[in-house]
Amino acid sequence: MSKIIAIANQKGGVGKTTTSVNLAASLAVLEQKILLVDADPQGNASSGLGYDVQKLGDSTIYECLVDGLEAEKATLKTEIDRLALLPSNINLVGAEVDMMNLEDRENIMKKVLAPVRDKYDYILIDCMPSLGTLTINALVAADSVLLPVQAAYLPVKGLQQLIKTISMVKRRLNRRLMIEGILLTIVDFRTNYAKDISSKVRETYGTSIPIFESVIPVSVKAAEASAEGISIYGHCINCKVSNAYKELTQEVLG
């Protein structure tokens, strides 16, 4: 049975998708069978793995969640061996409203993924920047949640709300849910500010929540790779940011 990890933060632009794509790619390179689930109508994980989201048609995670399409039928191969993608596009915008009327609406994603769980070692879910129904569904389906946090004042402040939501889900909907760890992303080591924020996060949360030793440095290479629709390894195999994601992968593998 695979381990399911949701990558979530309601704050936008903190590196959720970049982390999802590169962790997925990195695990796949290490012989793990991976499914990356794009749970964001922006479809950034799908385009980040080379798909033109406007051409996906009616075979996306939206149809799985709302129309009962089997996950396997919507799953796509990627350029990377052992890495499969359950894609998304703008259709998914309607999902939150459509799911409102469905029975047991917090458990829909869990049920969609159940039949494919034994095919993969890890299923990663790239969440959208909100704490709405889709993200709650991801947290209910998941065994653990990885929290990318940008090392800047406001994103760190939003962490409180996120942790509250995770606790609520754990209490009411998914007792198994663990926090995989807080991951500091887009860290500019040249500034004292970033260093201060990093130590503040460790001080505030370090005793109650795991924090990854690996931190992801700010790097134009990360942004270039996502724009090109490839993983960081396809762009630059041995630069700081790809090495940081390799280290993170080792931590996730334990």
Q: Quick one: which segment of 91-99, 176-184, 197-205, 216-224 binds ligand ATP (CB under 6 A)?
A: 216-224
Q: How far is the CB of 148 from ligand ATP (least distance, A)?
A: 6
From the list 168, 177, 17, 42, the residue with the least C-alpha distance to 7 is 17
Q: Is 9 in the site for Mg ion (CB under 5 A)?
A: no
> By C-beta, is 130 or 204 nearer to ligand ATP?
130
Q: Is residue 149 left, alpha or beta, with left meaning phi > 0 and alpha meaning psi from -120 to 50?
A: beta
Select from ligand ATP, Mg ion, none the partner in contact with residue 108, using the beta carbon and a kind-dependent cut-off of 5 to 8 Å.
none
Pairing of strands 83-86, 76-77: antiparallel
CA atoms 192, 153, 8, 93: torsion sign: negative
Among 108, 186, 197, 211, binds ligand ATP (CB under 6 A): 186
Distance CA 99, CA 111 (A): 13
Q: How far is the CB of 147 from ligand ATP (least distance, A)?
A: 11
> By C-beta, is 167 or 186 nearer to Mg ion?
186
Q: How far is the CB of 217 from ligand ATP (least distance, A)?
A: 6
Q: Is 50 in the site for ligand ATP (CB under 6 A)?
A: no
Q: Is 44 in the site for Mg ion (CB under 5 A)?
A: yes
Q: How far is the CB of 138 from Mg ion (least distance, A)?
A: 12
Among 16, 110, 235, 246, binds Mg ion (CB under 5 A): 16
Among 219, 231, 242, 249, binds ligand ATP (CB under 6 A): 219
Closest CB to Mg ion belongs to which residue? 17
> By C-beta, is 30 or 53 nearer to Mg ion?
53
DSSP labels, the chain? --EEEEE--SSTTSSHHHHHHHHHHHHHHTT--EEEEEE-TT-HHHHHTT--GGG-TT-SHHHHHHH---HHHH-EE-SSTTEEEE---GGGGGHHHHHHTSTTGGGHHHHHHGGGGGG-SEEEEEE-SS-SHHHHHHHHH-SEEEEEEESSHHHHHTHHHHHHHHHHHHHHT-TT-EEEEEEEESB-TTSHHHHHHHHHHHHHHTTTS-B-S--PBP-HHHHHHHHHTS-HHHH-TTSHHHHHHHHHHHHHH-
Q: How far is the CB of 112 from ligand ATP (least distance, A)?
A: 21
Select from ligand ATP, Mg ion, none the partner in contact with residue 209, using the beta carbon and a kind-dependent cut-off of 5 to 8 Å.
none
Q: Quick one: which segment of 82-90, 112-120, 170-178, 221-229 binds ligand ATP (CB under 6 A)?
A: 221-229
Q: Is 38 in the site for ligand ATP (CB under 6 A)?
A: no
Q: Which residues are near Mg ion by CB under 5 A? A: 16-17, 44
Give the footprint of ligand ATP on this chain (CB under 6 A).
Answer: 12-18, 40, 42, 44, 129, 185-186, 216, 218-219, 222-223, 226, 241
